[in-house]
Structure 1
Amino acid sequence: MQSLLLRASQRAFVVAARAPRTTLPRATVPRQRYLHNTVPRRAQSSTKACPVCTQPLPGPVPACTKCWNIFALPADVSHHELLGLDYDPNPFVVDLPTLKKRFRDAQSICHPDSWASKNPSQKDVAQALSARVNHAYQTLLNPLPRAEYILERNGVHISEVDQAQDMMFMAEIMEARETIDDAENPEEVRALLEENEDKISATVKELESLFKDRDYASAKAATIRLRYLQGIHRAAKRWLDNH
């Protein structure tokens, strides 16, 4: 184990490079720095009205299907608010069936195809709004980008080169990488994959508790560990796909 710890310390940057972050569409949604005081505590419960015809809007998306007007979304609207999800009591806990339904509902209203016959300015707004809805959905759908997003909104940034500080954990990651690289039969990799899935589940549960307590420093450390574990998951899946 001492040998593994030494190698973990020496090769930390190499392992970090092999644990890529979850990638999300960037072309249509600019990166934003969020401030703590902009975080909505709860999705708005009251129905908003169209500023043109004053009829109730069909959902959180600022598009009216009564008078067919669509409006730009303010930059500080959160993913939770855009999809009509509660931020409190825990922004990390997302009911996936509800998320998927809200996403479908939102896209049915603002998808560019629905505004194809409208004037160019409306089509441009619809395209930007649809991209924003898609980005919000993809971010909240999976635990890693969801955790990174919540941390970012609370002023805690995780960079591409941030590493896990737990050397025991790093030694386990390196050992898992070597097991995959040197594997000779699928059963060995499947066993590692199953063990890694248990670690991912445990880390996600830990993040639920940390975000509930608003312990963002510890949540950052757990999120970085989750990034490494998902890297092992991808590597094991690739090995199985190719053998």
Structure 2
Amino acid sequence: MPFCSHCQTPLRSALWCSVCQHLQSNGLKADYFSVFGLPLRYDLDLKILEQSYHELATELHPDFFATAPVAKRRLSESLSARLNQAWQTLQDPTARARYLTGIWQSQTPTHERDLPTGFLQEMFALQEELEELLEAKDQQALAAKHADFLQRLNDLRHNYQQQLIELKENTPDTSFCKQIQQQLNAERYLLRLLESCSPISSEKDP
């Protein structure tokens, strides 16, 4: 747990001391979980996260430092930006998974481009099918393919999110990190396939 650089009180947020109201310059280097005083875990209470975000956003808002020295005003602006970055990342399940995996990889390096066994070959086959459907302009088949890709994506996300929720260790082993990274990489492929279908799907919308 970090301590206030001014009064040495344990911090609830790496950005700001709720006791002496001192801005924490070290907070600019803090990870997004420490910004909210949270442990490095995927499973978060989003209501508590949102409440903490709004409280900190109020305390750090640059308007409250309008008459402060220039250095303090700039620090409040930088800390507010850090807070917003942390909020945007942690409130999104996919972004949170990628960020947390990135932290783990700095401690337990893995191959960042690995994919699940057989996944790439399957994607090549699906890409060929999609190209044929796009060339034929088969709207019904394209809509069905879009639904298939979306279901695959949802299943993939559910799988890795459940694995992350059930994780007990704060720093998992290399095997677990590799498994999650592979699924996150697979997610990118599926998103690209979905994007290829999207223009066709949107043409059918009223």
Q: Same-fold call, TM > 0.5?
A: yes
> How many percent identity over aligned positions?
18
The residue number in structure 2 matching 1:24 is none
The one-letter amino acid of 2:15's match is: P
Per-residue CA deviations over 1:51-106 (Å, capped at 9, x if unaligned) read: 35x8897x51533577653221346632122123343xxx2333444433332222
Whether 1:115 and 2:70 are equivalent positions in the alignment is: no
Whether 1:231 and 2:192 are equivalent positions in the alignment is: yes
Q: 1:63 aligns with which of 16, 21, 46?
A: 16
Counterparts of 1:107 and 1:183, CA distance in 2: 52
8 Å Cα contact 2:89/2:96 also seen in 1: yes
In angstroms, what is the RMSD of aligned CA positions? 3.6
Whether 1:169 and 2:122 are equivalent positions in the alignment is: yes
- Name the TM-score, length of structure 1 as normaliser: 0.61
Measured at CA, do residues 125 and 143 of structure 1 come closer, stay the same or move farther in structure 2, by a change above 3 Å? same
Whether 1:51 and 2:32 are equivalent positions in the alignment is: no
SS in structure 1 at match of 2:37? coil
Counterparts of 1:137 and 1:227, CA distance in 2: 22
The runs of 5 or more residues in structure 2 that have no matched partner are none
Measured at CA, do residues 234 and 225 of structure 1 come closer, stay the same or move farther in structure 2, by a change above 3 Å? same
8 Å Cα contact 2:14/2:27 also seen in 1: no
Higher mean alpha-carbon deviation, 217-226 vs 178-187, is at 178-187
The runs of 5 or more residues in structure 1 that have no matched partner are 1-43
Measured at CA, do residues 142 and 84 of structure 1 come closer, stay the same or move farther in structure 2, by a change above 3 Å? same
Counterparts of 1:176 and 1:118, CA distance in 2: 62
The residue number in structure 1 matching 2:25 is 72
Shift of 1:222: 0.8
Q: 1:199 aligns with which of 152, 168, 173?
A: 152
Where in structure 2 are the equivalents of 1:1-243 lying within 5 Å?
51-52=6-7, 59-64=12-17, 68-74=21-27, 77-87=30-40, 91-155=41-105, 156=109, 162=113, 164=115, 166-175=119-128, 177-178=130-131, 181-182=134-135, 184=137, 188-211=141-164, 212=167, 214=172, 215-241=176-202
Counterparts of 1:78 and 1:237, CA distance in 2: 35
Counterparts of 1:147 and 1:69, CA distance in 2: 31
Counterparts of 1:174 and 1:233, CA distance in 2: 11
Shift of 1:49: 6.3
8 Å Cα contact 1:84/1:102 also seen in 2: no
